[in-house]
Amino acid sequence: MRFEGFEGKVYEAADLSPLRPNPPITTEDDNDNNGEELFVPPLNFAMVDNGVFRSGFPDSANFSFLQSLGLRSIIYLCPESYPEANNEFLKANGIRLFQFGIDGCKEPFVNIPEETIREALNVVLDVKNHPLLIHCKRGKHRTGCVVGCLRKLQRWCLSSIFDEYQRFAAAKARVSDQRFMEKFDVSGMKHLPIKFSCSKR
Amino acid sequence: MRFEGFEGKVYEAADLSPLRPNPPITTEDDNDNNGEELFVPPLNFAMVDNGVFRSGFPDSANFSFLQSLGLRSIIYLCPESYPEANNEFLKANGIRLFQFGIDGCKEPFVNIPEETIREALNVVLDVKNHPLLIHCKRGKHRTGCVVGCLRKLQRWCLSSIFDEYQRFAAAKARVSDQRFMEKFDVSGMKHLPIKFSCSKR
């Protein structure tokens, strides 16, 4: 089954069989005192809401952790092609990749494409894609904008949306991103079902 | 039913009837452009895992948001008594309060009581208490330590635990808290069921 009315790239995983969590990959550094394997979540990892996670770019050290989440989809917000090792991981775990290539421009040349954010949000809102991970490179700006727009749909006030955005962007927080979220019009999306915990409409 | 083997204070809410989400309280400032009521999550609010949230001290502006979470319990980590307005909110919504009075000492006089954190964790791990909010005053230190110890039980590596702790504590991050989490021994708690998303044991 393909996602209809979707303009980003869709990678169909060859193996869509049910996920069987594998034991975490063991390396000497990732063991605790009892010799147990430890999980390494990606940089800036957090739970956004039921079935929705966010992070920076995951690498192979994070794969066993991501496996434990039982992900069904990943939303990837950069234009660069997905690394081979990550593609292999998706394939082996039946995870579908939705890529929305948003350039990682620096201020004052930031131009966040509203329509692309809207399409990404449609994927986030579709519970058939859950559990789902949203990520860009550092999990700050592009990911922060998608999550901020989701919070708008969830009717969070702007100051709480910015508080959350800044927690992840920290010293790299951008007024232009916050202005984008402030201007983002959710009135056309209010027919969509929101089945989350963190405030329902 | 009372929580057994628990040394903190337990407030039994008079009304334990099923939660009926009320519409958010409307004030002029909390309306968006279309005159819709907006939610105001508490300072430093975030989802920790399925059915577990964290934040700073909630005040009346946050009540309608908290109501939308359908909370069953609150873990309050300060020794000061709970404000009357908050007690009223708990009563009206059938939310049980577990209070663990941990002093909010400043470095270098920090002494986090290990046994108290362990008891708070037992409440967090009991899914009968979910959905549950953990909060202290600012949602940085005491809340950060409880969440950090939970992550240890979930087998997160220390650098990811500290990354998360620092995201909330920001400029107020304390080496003493991080050392506490590093030393915290979870081996005696491994018999407890962990039914979360963010990595299972």
pTM of the model: 0.83
Give the pLDDT of residue B22. 42
Residue B9 confidence (pLDDT) above 60: no
B187 neighbourhood in chain A, CB within 8 Å? 34
Give the pLDDT of residue A31. 53
Nearest to A139 by CA among A115, A108, A164: A164
Q: Of B30, B48, B65, which has the smallest distance from its Cβ to A47's Cβ?
A: B48
Listed ranges B10-19, B29-38, B120-129; the one with the highest mean pLDDT: B120-129
Instruction: Extract the tokens encoding B111.
Output: 């002494």
Is B105 noted as a catalytic residue in this protein? Answer: no
Whether B168 and chain A come into contact, CB under 8 Å, resolves to yes
For B107-134, give the DSSP string: TTS----HHHHHHHHHHHH-GGG-SEEE
Q: What are the E-state strand segments in chain B?
A: 9-11, 46-49, 52-55, 73-76, 96-99, 132-135
- Interchain CB distance below 8 Å, B160 and A41: yes
Q: How far is CA B166 from CA A66, A168, B59, B62, in A?
A: 22, 10, 24, 24
Residue B56 confidence (pLDDT) above 60: yes
Which is higher by pLDDT, B48 or B190?
Answer: B48
Provide mean pLDDT across the span B29-39: 66
Q: Which of A136, A145, A157, A198 is catalytic?
A: A136
State in Å, rounded, how far the first CA of chain B is from the last one.
29
Q: Are strands B52-55 and B132-135 parallel, antiparallel or unpaired?
A: parallel
A43 neighbourhood in chain B, CB within 8 Å? 163
**What gap in Å lies between CA A119 and CA A6, rounded to an integer?**
7
Whether B38 and chain A come into contact, CB under 8 Å, resolves to yes
Work out the minimum CA distance from A144 to partner chain B, whole angstroms. Answer: 14
Identify whether the C-beta of residue B149 lies closer than 8 Å to the C-beta of residue B189: no
Give the pLDDT of residue B7. 44
Strand partners, A156: B39
- Interchain CB distance below 8 Å, B45 and A160: yes
Provide mean pLDDT across the span B171-198: 84
**What gap in Å lies between CA A82 and CA A78, rounded to an integer?**
9
CATH number of A46-139: 3.90.190.10
Provide mean pLDDT across the span B40-60: 96
Give the pLDDT of residue B105. 74
> Which segments of chain A have a pLDDT < 50?
1-29, 201
Work out the minimum CA distance from A176 to partner chain B, whole angstroms. Answer: 20
List CB contacts of B141: < 8 A, sequence separation 6 or more.
B104, B169, B172, B174, B177
Q: Are strands A96-99 and A132-135 parallel, antiparallel or unpaired?
A: unpaired
Residue B106 pLDDT class (50, 70, 90 cuts): low
- Interchain CB distance below 8 Å, A41 and B200: no
Task: Enumerate the domain spans of chain B.
Answer: 46-139
